[in-house]
Amino acid sequence: MSNPVDSNGIRGVPPRAIHERQLDHDMLRLQRAASASHQRGQLVEAVRGVAAALLAVAGILVTILGHGRPAVAITGFFWFLVSAFLLKRLAGTTARQGALLQEMFDTGLFHLPWRSTVAGDPIPEPDVNRLARQLTRGSAKDQRITGGWYDPTSDVHHPYDVLIAQEQNLAWDARLRRRYSYFIVAAAVLWTAIGLAVGLAIANATLPDTLLSFFVPSLAAYQIAIEIWAGQQKVADERERLTKIVNSELRDGRPGPVPEREWHRLRDVARDVQDGILRTRLDPTRVPEWFYKRFRDGDERDFADTAEGHRLRLAAHTAPPA
């Protein structure tokens, strides 16, 4: 049995579950716009990363050859300034746009009110349409969108269905970001060892010469590595904290109708959790597409199984415990 939408949202079991409504035209349009905005952010990060890597490699070469050290060091220092201030600011602006588009998608899908005090104004409709058209239809990203992100929540009373979807979002992203932060630390340590080995052992350079020819050109790369590590750890910490809140509510949940007072309390919890999700999305640090793809299949199975476990336990047709 389901009830119609009232002024506060859905009461009872929604007429159509989250995994069904996420494929509606307006929902797909918002997802496509968010993905296109995210691609722009990834491009900015790619420019920062590739340029920093090239300068770091140049530092290795001039350390070995012994020529061009001042020029490469000066170039590396100035690129560090451009990367750390100009491009980082641009990445932050793009991250905010993508975060707001995703917030528009989630709040519409979850029947949650928009909080202007937290998010500000939504992205204007003309901008949503323009961005949505930029994503190539049939591309790999578009196929992921049309395949659906959230797993089934059939027969689960609102707002437990929202908490299931939020738990999937939070836990998956926290795991991915924590994993990527460890990868970045390992890469930075390895690169430092290579620089010291090349400068001191292979090129027989002094420590000051090694610092000038290798580490100064690598400043942008180290700055990005520190930025990524700190940002990913911060986001992972916050998402894991929110995951514990959601999991606590899901563990305490029972199948069947939700009493009115409890319904309002759970709606407030879901709305507060959504605010936390938005805060983490506003952070400009990202996980690159290739890293996400590397672990996607295994993570998808893990969190699909978790979501299905919650659904089966909370489904309306399940008899409540005696």
- Per-residue model confidence as pLDDT tens digits over 2-38: 344 444 567 888 999 999 999 999 999 999 999 999 8
pTM, to two decimals: 0.82
Query: What residues are paired with 140 via a beta bridge?
Result: none
Confirm whether 63 is domain-assigned: yes
Position of tokens 């939020």? Answer: 166
Confirm whether 290 is domain-assigned: yes
Confirm whether 4 is domain-assigned: no
Distances (CA, A) of 168 to 80, 109, 159, 228: 37, 15, 15, 23
Confirm whether 121 is domain-assigned: yes
Q: Are 262 and 154 in contact (CB under 8 A)?
A: no
DSSP state of 148: -
Confirm whether 322 is domain-assigned: no
Confirm whether 20 is domain-assigned: yes
Confirm whether 5 is domain-assigned: no
Confirm whether 3 is domain-assigned: no
Give residue 3's pLDDT: 41
The ranges of the chain with pLDDT < 50 are 1-7, 319-322
Structure tokens that stand for 73 in this block:
């060091």
Domain limits for position 294: 13-314
Domain count, the chain: 1
Structure tokens that stand for 266 in this block:
């759970």
- Per-residue model confidence as pLDDT tens digits over 32-64: 999 999 888 777 877 877 777 777 777 667 666
